[in-house]
């Protein structure tokens, strides 16, 4: 298997020497990128997702240690190697803390470097083989959870208990599970390509290995892995709920990174909203399945959070609100095609042959409430969903419907109209939050603490969903968009004022004047001083 490498060093001749004098292919590697500082390296890591980073320690703007810290947050699976001219114990100690695999001192001979690549290739192969060892997976498959444990976990995922939290906690203890906590969220993992039992076992192995330090619960249901995540009784107010959700997303983002590295085709993870009692775990589980169903619409998303894709005002679904048939129908309304909506709408009338006209109209009111609930959650109303945008009272129309055939045709046509309207609402909602993010950056660019997380907190969505959607809609990353605004503001100040460059740097939101100069030159093509001279001449 061949692995990818990014070289990071502020000395171009060092990078060139390493790249040209190393027989990469002989050792199973390909160099896919180079960076001359830590800031550029982070951008390359996010874009190219390499297997290995080879980096120096001392670099401008963002040194090697800070680079490693950030890499561990965004791509924890990357193998990191340090080539440095600094033989300091503190550096080596810090490197060990961040799981750096090799720390070599410059200059490094060709033989030493080739031996390093050989060791690294062996390590990567062993890690890959460990995850994909079929014999191990078959053995673990034979040692599946005992039936009673599995039945208990399945019971947590079904709406069969609302007020027996103490009983659930005690039963869980008898099975060595701890479900005491103030917050719970459920994540459901599904392979994108292969749904064989062995692939599901592979996913289970990765989930348990990556999240083993947390008090999480895992269950394999056919080709899916269900993870119940909980807090440590931190409290139920909004601040603690927000903190818990962020902690969950950090865990799931790390897990997704590993799954996509080791599983062919990668995986998708659906996440339900936060609930506050063991008896409500089934609510979050049902939402995680609904979130997974948005994969057809959000093809580039590896993590789908119910509050990102649904935009609902009430995050907790009431007990027994929808039957299984209704859940499938609601999902089709939101993301399905016309044929599927028509088919599922007609199934509501499969067993209605014995209804009299009054009973039929009562039944239609019941299923009409499904459409009303879904349209309301999208910020519109059923009365507005018509061919020509004229408001219409569908409840009044019920008085003229007295046969099953009429009812089926009427309800199916209305369902198709609802499906078409919701698709337009989804597209518009994406545009709206991207435009809101742009406005927020424009209003707060002077704040040196402005970052991705503050914007996402303002919008009320996750960082992973925001980053992917923002890049898709604008063609650029959040960091680049933010820096572009700041640089444009700086250019205006240079042309209209006599402020010093460092003063302008602070005014437009850069905390480091050197980093401001670096970004300015990369964006404009000239240093701040040369740019000022050019506008004076013109």
pLDDT, tens digit only, all 538 positions of the chain: 899 999 999 889 889 989 998 999 999 999 999 998 888 999 899 889 999 999 988 888 877 788 888 888 888 889 999 888 776 656 666 767 777 888 888 888 889 899 999 999 999 998 888 777 766 666 665 565 567 778 888 888 887 655 578 888 888 888 888 888 889 999 999 888 766 667 888 888 889 888 887 788 999 887 788 999 998 766 667 778 888 899 899 999 999 999 988 887 788 898 998 988 888 898 898 888 877 766 655 667 889 888 887 653 333 333 343 356 677 888 888 778 888 889 888 888 776 654 555 677 777 887 887 888 788 767 677 777 654 545 566 666 776 676 666 788 888 888 988 888 777 655 555 567 788 888 899 999 999 889 888 888 888 778 877 888 888 778 888 888 999 999 999 999 999 888 999 999 999 999 888 889 999 998 999 999 999 888 876 5
Pair of tokens at residue 418: 């609802």
Pair of tokens at residue 250: 């950090």
Which CATH code for domain 445-537? 1.10.10.60
Pair of tokens at residue 525: 């093509």
Do the Cβ atoms of 261 and 150 come closer than 8 Å? Answer: no
Do the Cβ atoms of 303 and 207 come closer than 8 Å? Answer: no
Do the Cβ atoms of 198 and 138 come closer than 8 Å? Answer: yes
Q: β-strands 184-191, 224-230: how paired?
A: antiparallel
As a 3-state breakdown, the chain gives helix, strand, coil percent values, each rounded to 5, of: 60, 10, 30
> Tell me: domain 145-321, CATH 3.30.70.270, correct?
yes
Determine the pLDDT at residue 50: 94
Domain segments of the chain: what residues?
A: 3-132, 145-321, 331-429, 445-537
Closest of 415, 270, 427 to residue 332, by C-alpha: 415
Closest of 260, 178, 267 to residue 223, by C-alpha: 267
Closest of 6, 14, 63, 65 to residue 38, by C-alpha: 63
Do the Cβ atoms of 305 and 256 come closer than 8 Å? Answer: no
Distances from the Cα of 307 to the Cα of 92, 224, 274, 470, angstroms:
43, 21, 10, 17
Task: Give the span between the Cα atoms of 356 and 365, in whole angstroms.
Answer: 14
The separation between CA 338 and the C-alpha centre of its own chain, rounded to angstroms, equals 29
The separation between CA 288 and the C-alpha centre of its own chain, rounded to angstroms, equals 13
Main-chain phi, psi angles of 383, to 5 degrees: -65, -25
Model-level pTM? Answer: 0.52
Which ranges in 133-211 belong to alpha helices (H)? Answer: 134-142, 147-156, 165-174, 197-210
Omega of the bond prior to 107 within 30 degrees of 0, cis? yes
The separation between CA 234 and the C-alpha centre of its own chain, rounded to angstroms, equals 24
Q: Which CATH architecture has domain 3-132?
A: 3-Layer(aba) Sandwich (3.40)
Task: Give the span between the Cα atoms of 456 and 439, in whole angstroms.
Answer: 13
Task: Give the span between the Cα atoms of 50 and 445, in whole angstroms.
Answer: 31
* Rounded to 5°, angle at Cα 289 from 285 and 342: 135
Task: Give the span between the Cα atoms of 485 and 480, in whole angstroms.
Answer: 9
Q: Provide Rg for the chain, Cα atoms.
A: 28
Q: β-strands 224-230, 217-221: how paired?
A: antiparallel
Residues 6+ apart with CB under 8 A from 503: none
Task: Give the span between the Cα atoms of 512 and 39, in whole angstroms.
Answer: 13
Do the Cβ atoms of 265 and 193 come closer than 8 Å? Answer: yes
Determine the pLDDT at residue 492: 92
């Amino acid at each position: 298997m061949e692995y990818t490498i990014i070289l990071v060093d502020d000395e171009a001749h060092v990078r060139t020497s390493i790249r040209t004098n190393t027989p990469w292919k002989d050792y199973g590697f390909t160099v896919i990128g180079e960076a001359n500082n830590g800031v550029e390296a982070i951008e390359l890591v996010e874009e190219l997702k390499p297997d290995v980073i080879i980096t120096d320690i001392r670099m401008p703007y963002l040194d090697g240690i800070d680079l490693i810290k950030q890499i561990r947050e965004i791509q924890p699976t990357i193998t990191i190697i340090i080539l440095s001219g600094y033989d300091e114990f503190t550096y080596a100690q810090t490197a060990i803390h961040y799981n750096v695999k090799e720390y070599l001192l410059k200059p490094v001979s060709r033989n030493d470097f080739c031996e390093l690549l050989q060791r690294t290739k062996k390590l990567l192969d062993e890690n890959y083989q460990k995850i994909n060892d079929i014999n191990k997976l078959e053995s673990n498959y034979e040692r599946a959870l005992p039936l009673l444990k599995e039945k208990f976990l399945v019971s947590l995922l079904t709406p069969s208990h609302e007020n027996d939290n103490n009983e659930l906690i005690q039963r869980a203890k008898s099975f060595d599970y701890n479900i005491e906590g103030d917050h719970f969220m459920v994540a459901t993992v599904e392979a994108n390509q292969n749904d064989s039992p062995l692939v599901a076992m592979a996913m289970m192995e990765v989930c348990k290995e990556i999240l083993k330090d947390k008090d999480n619960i895992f269950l394999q249901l056919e080709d899916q892995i269900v993870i119940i995540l909980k807090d440590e009784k931190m409290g139920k107010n909004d601040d603690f709920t927000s903190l818990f959700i962020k902690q969950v997303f950090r865990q799931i983002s790390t897990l997704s990174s590993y799954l996509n590295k080791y599983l062919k085709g990668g995986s998708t993870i659906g996440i339900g909203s936060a609930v506050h009692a063991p008896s409500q775990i089934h609510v979050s589980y049902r939402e995680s399945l609904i979130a997974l169903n948005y994969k057809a619409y959000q093809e580039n998303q590896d993590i789908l959070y119910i509050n990102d894709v649904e935009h609902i005002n009430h995050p907790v679904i009431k007990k027994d609100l929808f039957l299984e048939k209704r859940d499938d129908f609601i999902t089709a309304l939101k993301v399905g095609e016309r044929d599927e909506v028509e088919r599922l709408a007609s199934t509501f009338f499969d067993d209605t042959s014995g209804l009299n006209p009054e009973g039929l109209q009562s039944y239609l009111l019941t299923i009409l409430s499904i459409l009303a609930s879904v349209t309301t959650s999208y910020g519109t109303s059923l009365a507005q969903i018509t061919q020509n945008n004229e408001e219409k009272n569908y409840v009044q129309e019920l008085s003229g419907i007295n046969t099953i055939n009429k009812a089926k045709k009427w309800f199916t046509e209305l369902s198709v109209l609802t499906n078409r309207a919701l698709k337009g609402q989804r597209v518009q909602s994406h545009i709206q939050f991207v435009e809101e993010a742009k406005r927020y950056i424009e209003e707060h660019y002077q704040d040196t603490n402005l970052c991705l997380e503050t914007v996402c907190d303002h919008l009320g969505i996750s960082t992973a969903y925001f980053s992917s959607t923002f890049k898709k809609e604008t063609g650029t990353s959040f960091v680049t968009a933010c820096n572009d605004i700041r640089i444009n503001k700086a250019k205006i100040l240079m042309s209209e004022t006599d402020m010093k460059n460092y003063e302008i740097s602070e005014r437009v939101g850069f905390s480091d004047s050197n980093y401001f100069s670096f970004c300015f030159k990369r964006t404009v093509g000239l240093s701040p001083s040369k740019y000022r001279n050019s506008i004076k001449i013109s």
